[in-house]
């Protein structure tokens, strides 16, 4: 087999710990399936600010660009929260998305059976919840012009939300295709009763929908979607929406599953290149203590295998190993009911590696 190049960005907080376990999983799949990976580590986020004076150093970007995929831990922490905009980890995150053309963020929200009780929702409401938020990631109010100016009522701040048909069409088509590979239901979320960008969005969805006649489409207003996610989470299959709404709704969806420490995500551009990361954050409060749950990062590797490399066998094996270990009752402290029986980050890694 050919060698796949993976840029590895450990990042901040628990990032390095969870990424280390994911790398052991990568190695294990080389032994078992004969894959060959070349990993290159790069600095990003807070640690890059500290060591290089910028959250997204040029070298990091070129390491990513020459790789087939990127594995990211997590970035950010209170240490950098009061920095000026250019010196904040989030600025690096927005920068890397734009520079790598990652216009699509896939955030699956599934319920892990063994974690059903961790959700604040009633189990009967959650039953069967398995949805995917497809969030537009390089447009909208995140990337539009932003500035301050003097107005007649004092200083004012402006953010601009812009979408063109090309941007909307590519993400919408991708969402339709994803829906075709799932339960064939697409909820397009917008605020078309107020926003011009939402009206454009809805027009594009309606124009391309006839090309996917097997997919059932509904338009849902964002405020209503925030409610329906709570009322009937299991009825959603694929949700496609713009950047800001996707940020809010994907976090709501992830949290309602109760499995947020276990969820992987992918950010994709044109072609097979992708950046993979856990949905959870850098959790600086528990960093360096061996308490972090590496499963979301390990499952991000499985997602990378399936989506970027087409390594279905390896992906299945990783997911099966995670299920096996969980079914055997092993838990890191975040998901342990009895905290005294919780195992450490590396112990969880050991068990999953051994199960592959």
Ligand X SMILES: CC(C)[C@H](C(=O)O)[C@@H](O)C(=O)O
Residue span 35-64 as binding mask against a copy of itself, x where in contact by CB under 8 A, dash where not:
------------------------------
Q: Which helix (H) or strand (E) holds 277?
A: strand 274-278
Residue with the two structure tokens 């999953």: 352
Residue 81 interacting with ligand X (CB under 6 A): no
User: Any binding-site annotation on 338?
Assistant: no
How many whole angstroms separate alpha carbon 162 and alpha carbon 203? 15
DSSP string, 290-324: T----HHHHHHHHHHIIIII--HHHHHHHHHHHHH
| Min dist. Cβ of residue 194 to ligand X (A) | 5
| Min dist. Cβ of residue 102 to ligand X (A) | 11
User: Any binding-site annotation on 79?
Assistant: yes
Sheet containing strand 274-278, strands side by side: 36-41, 3-11, 69-74, 274-278, 264-268, 104-110, 130-136, 238-241, 185-190, 216-221
Catalytic residue positions? 142, 191, 223, 247, 251
> Quick one: which of 12, 68, 4 has its CA closest to 36?
4
Instruction: For residue 14, give both structure tokens.
Output: 């628990």
Residue with the two structure tokens 């029986």: 341
Given candidates 20, 110, 114, 141, which one binds a copy of itself under the rule CB under 8 A? 141
Q: Strand, helix or coil at 271?
A: coil
| Min dist. Cβ of residue 236 to a copy of itself (A) | 14
Residue 252 interacting with ligand X (CB under 6 A): no
- Binding residues for ligand X, rule: CB under 6 A, are 90, 93, 193-194, 223, 247
- Binding residues for a copy of itself, rule: CB under 8 A, are 88, 90, 94, 120-122, 125, 141-142, 144, 146-148, 151, 153-167, 191, 193-197, 199-200, 222-224, 226-227, 230-231, 244-245, 247-252, 254-256, 260
Annotated binding-site residue numbers for Mg(2+) = 223, 247, 251
């Amino acid at each position: 087999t050919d060698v796949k190049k993976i840029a590895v960005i450990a990042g901040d907080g628990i990032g390095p710990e969870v990424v280390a376990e994911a790398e052991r999983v990568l190695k294990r799949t080389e032994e078992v399936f004969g894959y060959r990976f070349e990993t290159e580590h790069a600095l990003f986020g807070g640690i890059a600010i500290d060591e290089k004076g910028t959250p997204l150093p040029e070298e990091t970007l070129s390491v990513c660009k020459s790789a087939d995929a990127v594995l990211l831990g997590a970035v950010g922490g209170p240490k950098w929260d009061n920095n000026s905009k250019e010196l904040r980890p989030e600025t690096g995150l927005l920068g890397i998305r734009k520079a790598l053309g990652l216009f699509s963020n896939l955030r699956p929200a599934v319920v892990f059976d063994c974690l059903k009780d961790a959700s604040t929702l009633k189990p009967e409401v959650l039953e069967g919840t398995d949805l995917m938020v497809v969030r537009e990631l390089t447009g909208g109010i995140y990337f539009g012009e932003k500035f301050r100016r003097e107005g007649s009522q004092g200083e004012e701040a402006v953010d601009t939300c812009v979408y063109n048909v090309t941007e909307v069409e590519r993400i919408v088509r991708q969402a339709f295709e994803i829906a075709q590979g799932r339960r064939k239901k697409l909820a397009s979320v917008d605020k078309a009763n107020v926003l011009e960008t939402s009206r454009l969005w809805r027009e594009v969805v309606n124009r391309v929908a006839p090309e996917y006649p097997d997919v059932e489409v509904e338009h849902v207003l964002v405020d209503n979607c925030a409610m329906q996610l709570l009322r009937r989470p299991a009825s959603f299959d694929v949700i496609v929406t713009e950047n800001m709404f996707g940020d809010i709704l994907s976090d709501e969806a992830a949290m309602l599953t109760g499995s947020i420490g276990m969820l992987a995500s992918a950010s994709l551009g044109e072609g097979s290149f992708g950046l993979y990361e856990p949905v959870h954050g850098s959790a600086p409060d528990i960093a360096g203590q061996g308490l972090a749950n590496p499963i979301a990062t390990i499952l991000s590797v499985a997602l990378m295998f399936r989506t970027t490399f087409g390594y279905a066998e390896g992906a299945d094996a990783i997911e099966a190993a995670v299920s096996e270990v969980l079914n055997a009752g092993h838990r890191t402290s975040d998901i342990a009911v009895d905290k005294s029986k919780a195992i450490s980050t590396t112990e969880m890694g050991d068990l999953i590696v051994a199960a592959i």
